[in-house]
């Protein structure tokens, strides 16, 4: 009731400058979500703390560091838009890292003249491991109606266990030099290879979501699964594919991370599930499904890395950073609830 | 003050405004002791708003409310209950996992010291049910009760608070004939005890039996209060709609010997038993029956939304029994679900996006690789929007912000996305005003006269009677009558609503 009455007052109030500003804030909030406000706030705060923060060098640095989170967030976005989420993205990264590293280490001595083939096969093995995780998630959630929370939580533990079992907890070293040199530190046309790959992925996912039937179906399944079914959408297939794509995108991030650290490690994706969900929600993806835009998610991921970078410059310890990041996620979700209610109406 | 002549409830010049809508406009309403007063009107006429004010859910924008001659300001349902006003809403407020007496005392638990006194509550509930004449074991869990029994529990809850005014919102909507009898017997008893009863219903045929007076509402205004005994049903409908019946329902031409497009044979499933139906091109097939008669569920099982136990569905010569929903849709069937918010629409998407979703099966919109041509999709969606009468300014708006009528037009528009042969409309005009209804009926006429098969499933009796060429009446999961032409008359249809057996061959 109170909301409704305040709205009528809005309509009747004179168009003062403050009112126009409020209307603009409301419009941006409804269209994009909380991201612009968070972004402006942190830019102001951190640039006041340090004058290095806004330097080109630092921002390029942030861009390069954000590649991994961008990739994972794109995948997370797909499943969030279907109305679920994926807690096993970290495991997908760990499995990719361990399996691809083991394969490369095993294959490289066998085919010393074809080191690129060994790298390719190794990368394929890593992607295959993540594909398995995605299929497992998709099968449980789409076919057996397991809640995404339980399914991906379970798979997360299963995958992490297997990765630790395979390595005994020890990092796998001795990867082919070219792998790290190209995928970790290489440049093509002056652009770092990881950034290049992320850009390609962004364009690909943007096309998927905005220009293909599958993309429209992903939005529809998350918006109202029963209505989607009655519109002829194969809802189970769409759900399944969303989880598979999510795992594959995480896996891609896993490969790039492995190349960067030049070893296969089980702890590469430790906090990425939380960070990627935060990036999406801050980027305006609704946890109720059906809403979310690729470009905003990319900015959301960029924002998270920017925030971490800023906090490092401001010499905030990593423990305190965890506290801040978690709080930010919850705050973003609360604001998302308001936004959804404003969009869909008070019920 | 002469107590006997003071009205129990007196509402004077009540208005209620919501942003952009005047839901009630200067309505007067009186209720005497021992009176059964029917509120009658279309969906959206203001009946619910009026009882919501009386039951403390809303506060009126202006106007006064007196109970027993005393001016009151009801701020909550609790407040209303203190004044002896009890409401049984259509949506029950029972906790299915709790027992009957626990539900009756929910929020008003009897206590002994710090602990609840379960024995006293059970005793109290048993005495209350005995007084009211309800035969329900008060230790049963609510989830095991029938709909009618749940309603009795709901009524008992109200009477635990010593109600003087009882508001019943569509109480018979989902009751069987026998259960309805029980309810009417209870109403007669309560009336004799001096309780004032406000009764909301669409079932005109019930009024003469139980009502004293009928107040007709239309577009938030009180059109008039008439005596139930000497007002004909025709007069009531014309008061309700504000126009003669033949202005609303178009004459739909029937294709003489339309090809049979879909046949259902010996269909069994949850809610229907041994049903045979033929769906023919160029004909509007009506399906009537009470809630729970199986009239809707048979079609949902055809669409693959609920399982078919046995029987066959043939679509244009192909056996499609057990086919998935999307295969039925691809086979040329469109289904308009009765619950547009739950099943029909993408609420957070725009009207245009909702319509576009059904265009994705068209070759000129989606290329071989699944790439969508955005401009073409938009243009086509807008064309469809224009055809079903959605203002172009509304196409870009979030669909949940549109009126019920416009939402229903979007649902109709989704049906025009691809070429279809069979249109199944389940409650096509639920919660839609008369003007929009007339527009939707014209669309149904267009579809049928273009040689498509149309099925209209409806609880709105005038709608199925006036639109359809052939009318199936469902009763207890069977087709109890198939009526055509002049056989489609109200007494005839109602007679078969309660028929115990199917058609005798």
∠ CA A111-A117-A118 to the nearest 5 degrees?
A: 60
Residue A217: inside a domain, yes or no? Answer: yes
Is some CB atom of chain B closer than 8 A to the CB atom of A342?
Answer: no
Beta strand B308-315 with B260-269: parallel, antiparallel or unpaired? Answer: antiparallel
Is B360 within 8 Å of A4 when comparing Cβ atoms?
no
**Residue among A212, A215, A227 whose CB faces B346 most closely:** A227
For residue A58, CA distances in Å to A50, A260, A310, B102 come to 11, 19, 10, 65
Is B349 within 8 Å of A290 when comparing Cβ atoms?
yes
Tokens of B454: 């149309």
Residue A171: HSE in the Cβ half-sphere, 13 Å Cα cutoff:
11
User: What CATH number corresponds to the domain at position A236?
Assistant: 1.10.3470
Q: What residues form DSSP beta bridges with B225? A: B215
Which among A317, A239, A305, A244 has a CA at the least distance from the CA of A271?
Answer: A305
The H or E element spanning position B272 is strand B272-280
Residue B487: HSE in the Cβ half-sphere, 13 Å Cα cutoff:
11
pLDDT higher than 70, residue B504: no
Comparison of pLDDT for A240 and B255, the residue scoring more: A240
Whole-angstrom distance, CA of residue B389 vs CA of residue B381: 12
Is A230 within 8 Å of B374 when comparing Cβ atoms?
no
- Nearest residue of B to residue A213, measured between CA atoms: B370
ipTM of the modeled complex: 0.79
- Nearest residue of B to residue A207, measured between CA atoms: B371
pLDDT higher than 60, residue B2: no
Number of domains composing chain A: 1
Is some CB atom of chain A closer than 8 A to the CB atom of B331?
Answer: no
Is some CB atom of chain A closer than 8 A to the CB atom of B295?
Answer: no
Chain position carrying tokens 């509930």 = B125
Question: Backbone dihedral region of A273: left (phi > 0), alpha (psi from -120 to 50 degrees) or beta?
Answer: alpha
Residue A20: inside a domain, yes or no? Answer: no
**Residue among A226, A234, A343 whose CB faces B342 most closely:** A226
Is B360 within 8 Å of A286 when comparing Cβ atoms?
no
User: From the CA of B353, how many Å to the nearest CA of chain A?
Assistant: 9
- Nearest residue of B to residue A289, measured between CA atoms: B348
Average pLDDT over chain B reads 88
Residue A63: inside a domain, yes or no? Answer: yes
- Give the pLDDT mean for A227-254: 95
Chain B partners of A9 at a C-beta cutoff of 8 Å? Answer: none
Task: Residue A62: give the domain boundaries.
Answer: 34-344
Pseudo-torsion of CA B175, B178, B184, B185, nearest 10°?
-140
Residue A336: inside a domain, yes or no? Answer: yes
Is some CB atom of chain B closer than 8 A to the CB atom of A7?
Answer: yes
Tokens of B436: 């929009």
- Give the pLDDT mean for B224-251: 81
Is B325 within 8 Å of A340 when comparing Cβ atoms?
no
Is A219 within 8 Å of B346 when comparing Cβ atoms?
yes
Is some CB atom of chain A closer than 8 A to the CB atom of B344?
Answer: yes
Is B326 within 8 Å of A224 when comparing Cβ atoms?
no
Whole-angstrom distance, CA of residue B385 vs CA of residue B367: 23
Name all domains of chain B by residue range, CATH numbers in brackets: 9-247 (3.40.50.300), 250-497 (3.40.50.300)
Chain A partners of B356 at a C-beta cutoff of 8 Å? Answer: 216
Note whether A217 and A233 are within 8 A (CB): yes
pTM for the full predicted model:
0.79
Is some CB atom of chain B closer than 8 A to the CB atom of A57?
Answer: no
Residue A6: HSE in the Cβ half-sphere, 13 Å Cα cutoff:
3
- Nearest residue of A to residue B58, measured between CA atoms: A1
Tokens of B421: 């042969």
Note whether B482 and B503 are within 8 A (CB): yes
The H or E element spanning position B265 is strand B260-269
Question: Positive or negative, the Cα torsion across B476, B478, B481, B484?
Answer: positive
pLDDT band per the 50, 70, 90 thresholds, residue A196? very high
Question: Positive or negative, the Cα torsion across B258, B263, B269, B273?
Answer: positive
Is A223 within 8 Å of B346 when comparing Cβ atoms?
yes
Tokens of A212: 């293909």
Is some CB atom of chain A closer than 8 A to the CB atom of B40?
Answer: no
Residue A100: inside a domain, yes or no? Answer: yes
- Nearest residue of A to residue B416, measured between CA atoms: A231
Residue A282: inside a domain, yes or no? Answer: yes
Which among B240, B177, B181 has a CA at the least distance from the CA of B38?
Answer: B240
Is some CB atom of chain A closer than 8 A to the CB atom of B325?
Answer: yes
Q: Is B251 helix (H, G, I), strand (E, B) or coil?
A: coil
Tokens of B170: 């569509």
**Residue among B305, B347, B374 whose CB faces A344 most closely:** B347
Tokens of B232: 């004909």
pLDDT band per the 50, 70, 90 thresholds, residue B425? very high
Chain A partners of B19 at a C-beta cutoff of 8 Å? Answer: 4, 7-8, 11
- Give the pLDDT mean for B58-74: 91
Is A211 within 8 Å of B18 when comparing Cβ atoms?
no
Whole-angstrom distance, CA of residue B282 vs CA of residue B298: 21
Helices (H), B161-241: 177-192, 204-210, 233-241
Note whether A80 and A278 are within 8 A (CB): no
Is some CB atom of chain A closer than 8 A to the CB atom of B363?
Answer: no
Across B113-241, the runs of DSSP E, i.e. the strands, are 115-116, 165-169, 196-200, 213-218, 221-227
**Residue among B326, B349, B369 whose CB faces A233 most closely:** B326
- Nearest residue of B to residue A12, measured between CA atoms: B19
Say what the pLDDT of residue B505 is. 37
Average pLDDT over chain A reads 90
- Give the pLDDT mean for B130-151: 86
Is B18 within 8 Å of A4 when comparing Cβ atoms?
yes
Chain A partners of B361 at a C-beta cutoff of 8 Å? Answer: 232
For residue B55, CA distances in Å to A61, A189, B78, B87, B214 come to 63, 72, 9, 6, 19
Chain position carrying tokens 């951190």 = A46
∠ CA A330-A331-A333 to the nearest 5 degrees?
A: 65
**Residue among B326, B348, B360 whose CB faces A216 most closely:** B360
Residue A12: inside a domain, yes or no? Answer: no
Whole-angstrom distance, CA of residue B413 vs CA of residue B388: 6
Helix then strand then coil, in percent of chain A rounded to 5, is: 75, 0, 20
Note whether A229 and A62 are within 8 A (CB): no
**B367-421: per-residue pLDDT in tens?**
878 888 889 999 999 999 999 999 998 999 999 888 888 999 999 999 998 889 9
Is some CB atom of chain B closer than 8 A to the CB atom of A230?
Answer: yes
For chain B, what is the largest distance between any 2 Cα atoms, rounded to a whole number of angstroms? Answer: 83
pLDDT band per the 50, 70, 90 thresholds, residue B267? very high
State the DSSP string of A236-303: HHHHHHHHHHHHHHHHHHHHHHHHHHTSB-TTTTTTHHHHHHHHHHHTT--TTSS---HHHHHHHHHH
Is some CB atom of chain A closer than 8 A to the CB atom of B361?
Answer: yes
- Give the pLDDT mean for B462-477: 91
pLDDT band per the 50, 70, 90 thresholds, residue B501? low
Note whether B464 and B471 are within 8 A (CB): yes
**A275-334: per-residue pLDDT in tens?**
999 999 999 898 889 989 999 999 999 999 999 999 998 899 989 999 998 998 899 889
pLDDT higher than 60, residue B502: no
**A47-97: per-residue pLDDT in tens?**
998 888 888 888 888 989 999 999 999 999 999 999 999 999 999 999 999
Across B307-380, the runs of DSSP E, i.e. the strands, are 308-315, 318-319, 333-336
**Residue among A7, A211, A291 whose CB faces B19 most closely:** A7
Note whether A252 and A201 are within 8 A (CB): yes
- Give the pLDDT mean for B79-96: 85
For chain A, what is the radius of gyration of the CA atoms?
22
Whole-angstrom distance, CA of residue A228 vs CA of residue A237: 12
User: From the CA of A299, how many Å to the nearest CA of chain B?
Assistant: 22
**Residue among B303, B348, B358 whose CB faces A231 most closely:** B358
Least-confidence region, from A192-196, B238-242, B317-321: B238-242
Whole-angstrom distance, CA of residue A341 vs CA of residue B32: 42
Is some CB atom of chain B closer than 8 A to the CB atom of A58?
Answer: no
pLDDT higher than 90, residue A15: no
Chain B partners of A4 at a C-beta cutoff of 8 Å? Answer: 18-19
Whole-angstrom distance, CA of residue B453 vs CA of residue B423: 6
Is B19 within 8 Å of A4 when comparing Cβ atoms?
yes
Q: Which of residues 168-227 of A touch B (CB under 8 A)?
A: 207, 210-217, 219-220, 223-224, 226-227
- Give the pLDDT mean for B267-278: 93
Interhelix angle A272-282/A318-344, rounded to 10 degrees, is 40
Note whether A264 and A97 are within 8 A (CB): yes
pLDDT band per the 50, 70, 90 thresholds, residue A6? very low
- Nearest residue of B to residue A225, measured between CA atoms: B343
- Nearest residue of B to residue A233, measured between CA atoms: B326
Residue A205: inside a domain, yes or no? Answer: yes
């Amino acid at each position: 009731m109170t909301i409704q009455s305040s709205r009528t007052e809005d309509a009747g109030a004179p168009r003062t400058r403050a009112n126009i500003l409020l209307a603009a804030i409301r419009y941006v909030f409804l269209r994009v979500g909380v991201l612009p406000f968070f972004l402006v706030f942190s830019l102001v705060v951190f640039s006041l703390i340090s004058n290095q923060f806004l330097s080109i060098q630092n921002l390029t640095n942030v861009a390069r560091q954000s590649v991994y989170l961008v990739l994972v967030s794109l995948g997370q976005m797909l499943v969030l838009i279907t109305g679920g989420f994926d807690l096993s993205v970290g495991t997908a990264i760990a499995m990719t890292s361990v399996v691809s590293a083991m394969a490369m280490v095993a294959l490289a001595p066998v085919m010393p003249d074809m080191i690129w083939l060994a790298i390719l096969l190794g990368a394929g093995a890593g992607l295959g491991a993540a594909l398995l995780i995605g299929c497992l998630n998709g099968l449980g959630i789409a076919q057996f109606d397991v809640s995404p929370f339980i399914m991906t939580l379970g798979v997360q533990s299963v995958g992490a266990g297997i990765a630790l079992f395979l390595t005994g907890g020890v990092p796998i070293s001795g990867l082919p030099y070219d792998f790290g040199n190209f995928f970790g530190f290489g440049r093509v046309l002056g652009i770092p290879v990881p950034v290049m790959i992320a850009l390609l992925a962004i364009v690909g996912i943007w096309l998927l979501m905005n220009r293909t039937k599958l993309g429209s179906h992903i939005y529809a399944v998350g918006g109202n699964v029963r209505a989607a079914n009655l519109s002829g959408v194969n809802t189970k297939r769409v759900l399944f594919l969303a989880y598979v794509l999510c795992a594959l995108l995480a896996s891609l991030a896993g490969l790039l991370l492995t190349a960067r650290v030049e070893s296969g490690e089980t702890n590469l994706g430790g906090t990425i599930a939380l960070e990627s969900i935060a990036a999406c929600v801050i980027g305006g993806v609704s946890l109720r499904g059906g809403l979310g835009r690729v470009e905003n998610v990319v900015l959301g991921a960029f924002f998270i890395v920017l925030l971490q970078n800023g906090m490092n410059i401001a010499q905030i310890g990593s423990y305190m950073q965890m506290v801040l990041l978690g709080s930010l996620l919850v705050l973003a979700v609360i604001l998302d609830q308001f936004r959804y209610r404003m969009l869909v109406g008070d019920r | 003050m002469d107590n006997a002549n003071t009205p129990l409830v007196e509402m004077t010049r009540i208005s209620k405004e919501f942003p952009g809508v005047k839901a009630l406009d200067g309505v007067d309403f009186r209720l005497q002791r021992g009176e059964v007063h029917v509120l009658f009107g279309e969906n959206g006429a203001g009946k619910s708003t009026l009882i919501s004010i009386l039951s403390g859910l809303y506060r009126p924008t202006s106007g006064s409310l007196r109970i027993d001659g005393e001016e009151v300001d009801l701020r909550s349902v609790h407040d209303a209950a203190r004044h002896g006003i009890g409401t049984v809403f259509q949506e029950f407020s029972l906790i299915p996992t709790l027992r009957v007496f626990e539900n009756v005392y929910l929020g008003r638990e009897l206590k002994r010291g710090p602990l609840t006194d379960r024995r006293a509550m059970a005793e109290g509930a048993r005495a209350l049910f005995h007084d009211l004449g309800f035969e329900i074991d008060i230790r049963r869990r609510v989830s095991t009760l029938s709909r009618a029994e749940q309603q009795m529990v709901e009524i008992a809850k109200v009477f635990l608070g010593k109600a003087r005014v009882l508001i019943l919102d569509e109480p018979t909507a989902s009751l069987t004939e026998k259960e309805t009898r029980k309810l009417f017997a209870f109403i007669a008893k309560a009336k004799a005890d001096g309780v004032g009863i406000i009764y909301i219903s669409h079932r005109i045929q019930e009024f003469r039996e139980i009502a004293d007076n009928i107040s007709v509402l239309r577009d938030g205004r009180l059109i008039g209060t008439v005596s139930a005994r000497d007002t004909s049903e025709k007069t009531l409908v014309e008061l309700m709609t504000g126009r003669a019946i033949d202005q609303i329902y178009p004459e739909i031409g029937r294709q003489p010997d339309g090809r049979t497009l879909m046949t259902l044979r010996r269909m069994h499933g949850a809610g229907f038993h041994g049903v045979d139906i033929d769906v023919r091109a160029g004909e509007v097939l009506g399906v009537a029956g009470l809630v729970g008669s199986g009239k809707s569920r048979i079609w949902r099982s055809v669409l693959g939304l609920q399982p078919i136990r046995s029987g066959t569905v043939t679509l244009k010569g192909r056996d499609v029994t057990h086919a998935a929903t999307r295969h039925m849709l691809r086979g040329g069937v469109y289904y308009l679900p009765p619950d547009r918010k739950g099943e029909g629409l993408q609420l957070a998407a725009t009207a245009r996006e909702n319509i576009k979703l059904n265009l994705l099966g068209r070759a000129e919109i989606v290329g071989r690789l699944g790439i969508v041509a955005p401009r073409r999709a938009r243009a086509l969606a807008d064309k469809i929007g224009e055809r079903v009468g959605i203002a172009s300014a509304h196409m870009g708006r979030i669909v949940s912000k549109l009126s019920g009528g416009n939402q229903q037009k979007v649902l109709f528009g989704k049906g025009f996305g691809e070429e279809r042969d069979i249109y199944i409309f389940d409650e096509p005009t639920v919660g839609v005003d008369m003007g929009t209804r007339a527009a939707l009926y014209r669309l149904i006429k267009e579809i049928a006269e273009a040689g498509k098969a149309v099925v209209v499933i409806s609880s709105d009796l005038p709608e199925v009677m006036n639109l359809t060429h052939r009318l199936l009446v469902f009763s207890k999961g069977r087709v109890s009558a198939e009526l055509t032409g002049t056989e489609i008359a109200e007494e005839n249809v109602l007679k078969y609503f309660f028929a115990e057996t199917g058609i005798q061959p």
